[in-house]
Structure 1
Amino acid sequence: MIREHKNVLLLVADDLGLYLGCYGTKGIKSPNIDALAAEGTRFTNAFASTASCSGSRSTIYTGLHTHQNGQYGLEHGWNHFQTHEHIETAPQVFNSLGFQTGIIGKVHVGPRRAYPWEVFEDSQSRDTKWVASRAAAFFDKAKETNRPFHLTIGFHDPHRDNTREGFSNDAPEVVKAGLEGPDFRVDDVEVQSFISDVPELRTELIQYYKAIWRLDKGIGWVLDALRERGLDSNTLVVFVSDNGAPFINSKTTLYEAGVQLPFIVRKPHQEPGVVNSNFVSFLDILPTAIDWVGHKDGDIKTPNTGKSPKRLGDSVLPILESSQTLSGDKWKQHVFGSHTFHEIQNYYPTRYLRTHKYKYHRNIKNRLDFPFAADLYGSISWEGIRNKDGPVMIGKRPLEAYLFRGPEELYDVEKDPEEVHNLAENENYQDILKDSREKLEAWQYETNDAWLFRDGVSATVMEDYTKLGLRLPDRFELDLKNPGTKNVDAWKPPVRK
């Protein structure tokens, strides 16, 4: 009987951030996603590794950071970043288990041979009725063949369209389907604290809210299709956004608005309405799916078993119904993140460590100015912000601080959630800074991060030479006043676990 199978349904929104009613955004209309949260578990400390579409999706589908899986930036067009072919991916895992695997909608990772979904319906459509109909056909096929399934749906909403302020609410297919969205007013939208309140932003937010409404309708129709076929009682449903909202100081940054995201999980017959404050990473999603279907991560034989790096994420199922923050010996209470590119011209490698109290950023190429993603630079909201009278502020952050960042940033996120007051040079926080740096670098070393830099070069790449006697100075950058190696401490690699 099909009901004996355990299935996985993964729903991925595009550039949603925390703009949902269940996450406290006022005026938004997201009743179906809110209902999913009320039936399952809503994580409040869920973090993406990176804040860019292709990169984030690759971490979800591989359980590896982008510096491990090779999807360093966007896949499409001139960018052409690709996941390494030796990396084990979700469709490989579930194909090996005999599942019907599929993806509908936005794919945005490659190459195709690294992601061998059995059903592959790559589409740019914003017609969420059509998306739901394709999901229903997928469910029907699984029932007819009596196979378990793993289905990913990549919604295109609420990503920007190719205009300066639009979100495809007037696209012909959207209008034909009656999915233009409600008539939100300027006063209905909420300007979150990460960005400055200007009229142009509110104009965009009205259109953004409509696209979120359309996404929510699609989620509702997909879940209806699942329930109507009796599959909701044996399907794990996971809902996430790939990265933060498509505005300055959010998407493409590793600040909170870019990477602290919705993560909702509904397990059949679970305790409803759980609000879970334990730290989870998007790298936990694939191990969770594997655990749900009754297997141990690492025990499944795929074509890339033994070639792909070991996944460091954990299944969240053991803590899914926990309404208490667990101690660190029972569950990890930190996450790491890794961003290198967005578009190919947007190079700004950064790594981060986030705990309940502190956020540490290592800006590896901090001598560069922080780059603008094309759609954010071209937006009318950025034009409004930069032309506002007085000093240009992006939320509570001066423009200069947004563009030019030091090699390290340390924030007390309990007191300073907008990450404005950098404590890296504060003498009272040097022990915390040193501890954060050491933990992050140990993680970089463990994950073979080529962007673990010393003296301006990759310490990871140079390790073969240091074993041959090369003296690599223990400093971030080459010191122009003292470029020699004789009178400085040499870098010593962290101890691998």
Structure 2
Amino acid sequence: MNKLLRGVYLLLLFVMLACSNSKEAKPEEFKISRPNIILFVSDDHGLDALGCYGNPIIKTPNLDKLASEGVKFTNAYCTSASCAASRSVILSGLYGHATGSYGHVHDYHHFSTYDNIKSLSNRLTQAGYFTARIGKYHVAPETVYQFDEVLEADPRNTVEMADASKGVLNSERPFFLYFCTDDPHRGHPFTPEKWDIPNSFGNKKKGYKGVKQVTYSPDEVLVPEFLPDTKQSREEIAQYYQSISRIDQGFGRLMAHLKGAGKLETTVVIYISDNGMAFPGAKTTVYEPGIKLPCIIKNPTSNKKGITNSAKISWVDLTPTILDFAKINYEAKEFHGKSFRNILENENPKGWDNIYVSHTFHEITMYYPMRVAIDKNYKLIWNLAWRLEYPFASDLWAASTWQSIYRNDIKKFGPRKVKDYLFRPEFELFNLENDPWETNNLAGDENYAELLESIKTKLKIFQKKTSDPWMIMWEHDASLQGSGVNL
């Protein structure tokens, strides 16, 4: 009997060892079958300042190379042209109006995501990914947006940030690296001693360790049509360009480290910005320069290179897309966005011609909710607080680009009248194909009355579907309002 029990014991031990060995093999299989993912997010970088998007002046060779090896989207949009609000959407796949992420999280603004939201980083960690972040965070609470490791480096020095990330790139497990720069956000102090001194955009006279300074003459920069072509605008754009060239060097360093780790062919690389350039008329607005942004993606499993994709995609689509890359199952109804993984290599995919945007706050003192529906070539902006003067972010108000207009009582800011920039109608309707700078409002034109009502209806459906509390502003529609009791 003892011999029999001993035999059974040895058999069980053999089975347990076999199972143990098979379990040890699984991480290796996991490592091979699921890609690493880098999400590189710059701060206030518009479509205007990248070589691969048509700017012949700015030097961005490393990002241009990424575009030549991957997919460049020409109709990619953030959902709110404000740093914190945008980042909450990037990391959740949900509009900020549905998660409490209405605006900035820092200081007295204190907007924070509801604690029942399941973020991208938390989902990836639970699926076995090693998650790490470096640089700008700007979301809350940390329990919702949790990472396995927080790396430290100067967020203005992307070369230093890249060097600090080497350990993650050499991870045994598949990794998700959330790499967020402070560039090219305006630098402190926002208000200079003299009003016409250009902002530094984080640039320093002595530069940054490991970074080659790339400077630009104000005479050579390209002034976007929505800005005034003034001495002050040009000086600030030159500083903005310099900050972007610093980003590009750090991105190149990161790719070199990735190659050195032998992970270049197993890593999905995504480059985006949180919102448009930090100039009046772009950042904090829902005009195209504020919300239409760079998006470049390299899928290492694809043989196609240098693709230009015209699909209208949104930052609310990023979380489900990244989960698709990571081969992690989810329910489509968990997100307001949808994955564009399957249309990545299509230049003109069908069914991707609608975008919705939801902006409520930037700073807490900047209450000016706006909702946007883009339907093919037509764009509707609903200015819910249209009776108020349009508010300025503190850094944009102090910008010499704006002060040169304000102090000299100039009547136009770029193509717009200053009074039209400050005091907006309730509805703005634009044909983006014929009027890309959004100066001809069709909302009051009887020829477009039917179209206006049609897009309004689509906007209402979007608001109801995404639980937008501001739906109440349509004729006091309280259908989304609860009982007032916290169940």
State TM-score, norm by structure 1. 0.86
The counterpart of 2:337, out of the listed 304, 310, 313, is: 313
TM-superposed deviation, 1:120? 1.6
CA contact (8 A) 1:255 1:419 kept: yes
- Residue 40 of structure 1 corresponds to 70
1:429 maps to a residue whose letter is Y
> What are the superposed Cα offsets for residues 293-341 of structure 1, whole Å, 9 maximum, x if unpaired?
2123328xxxxxxxxx720222212111112x2332xxx3111010000
TM-superposed deviation, 1:16? 0.4
Moved more, 39-48 or 199-208: 199-208
Matches within 5 A, 1:295-314: 295-298=328-331, 310-314=334-338
Q: Distance in 1 between matches of 2:477 and 2:176?
A: 38
CA contact (8 A) 1:169 1:179 kept: no
1:273–1:387 Cα change, 3 Å? same
Matches within 5 A, 1:176-215: 176-177=208-209, 179=211, 181-215=213-247
Cα-Cα RMSD: 1.8
2:324 maps to a residue whose letter is D
Matches within 5 A, 1:413-492: 413-454=432-473, 457=476, 459-462=478-481
- Residue 4 of structure 2 corresponds to none
- Residue 349 of structure 2 corresponds to 326
3-state SS of paired residue (2:65): helix
Matches within 5 A, 1:257-406: 257-270=289-302, 271-298=304-331, 310-323=334-347, 325-328=348-351, 332-388=352-408, 390-391=410-411, 393-406=412-425
TM-superposed deviation, 1:405? 1.2
TM-superposed deviation, 1:390? 4.6
- Residue 486 of structure 1 corresponds to none
Does 2:257 match 1:225?
Answer: yes
Does 2:100 match 1:70?
Answer: yes
- Residue 16 of structure 1 corresponds to 45
1:139 maps to a residue whose letter is L
Q: Distance in 2 between matches of 1:412 and 1:272?
A: 32
- Residue 492 of structure 1 corresponds to none
> What are the superposed Cα offsets for residues 112-139 of structure 1, whole Å, 9 maximum, x if unpaired?
1111111123655312221001211211
1:150 maps to a residue whose letter is F
> What are the superposed Cα offsets for residues 357-414 of structure 1, whole Å, 9 maximum, x if unpaired?
10001111211111000000011111113345752x2221111111111211111111
Q: Distance in 2 between matches of 1:85 and 1:448?
A: 17
Note the residue ranges of structure 2 that are not aligned, 5 or more in a row.
1-27, 193-198
Does 2:276 match 1:244?
Answer: yes
- Residue 128 of structure 1 corresponds to 158
1:398–1:322 Cα change, 3 Å? same
- Residue 18 of structure 2 corresponds to none
2:307 maps to a residue whose letter is V
CA contact (8 A) 2:336 2:466 kept: no
Between the aligned residues of both structures, percent identity stands at: 37
Higher Cα Rg: structure 1 or 2?
2
Q: Distance in 1 between matches of 2:364 and 2:117?
A: 22
Q: Distance in 2 between matches of 1:237 and 1:107?
A: 19
The counterpart of 1:161, out of the listed 183, 187, 201, is: 187
CA contact (8 A) 1:195 1:395 kept: yes
TM-superposed deviation, 1:21? 0.8
3-state SS of paired residue (2:368): strand
TM-superposed deviation, 1:242? 0.3
1:275–1:459 Cα change, 3 Å? same
- Residue 473 of structure 1 corresponds to none
Moved more, 67-76 or 289-298: 289-298
2:396 maps to a residue whose letter is L
TM-superposed deviation, 1:354? 1.2
3-state SS of paired residue (1:377): helix
Q: Distance in 2 between matches of 1:39 and 1:87?
A: 35
Q: Distance in 1 between matches of 2:151 and 2:300?
A: 27
Moved more, 53-62 or 404-413: 404-413
- Residue 195 of structure 2 corresponds to none
Q: Distance in 2 between matches of 1:372 and 1:176?
A: 31
Matches within 5 A, 1:23-102: 23-102=53-132
1:138–1:462 Cα change, 3 Å? closer
> What are the superposed Cα offsets for residues 202-261 of structure 1, whole Å, 9 maximum, x if unpaired?
111111111000000011111111111111211111110000000000000000000000
Moved more, 157-166 or 442-451: 157-166
Note the residue ranges of structure 1 that are not aligned, 5 or more in a row.
300-308, 466-497
1:176–1:372 Cα change, 3 Å? closer
CA contact (8 A) 2:375 2:455 kept: no
Which runs of at least 4 in structure 1 moved beyond 6 Å after TM superposition? none
1:244 maps to a residue whose letter is G
1:237–1:178 Cα change, 3 Å? closer
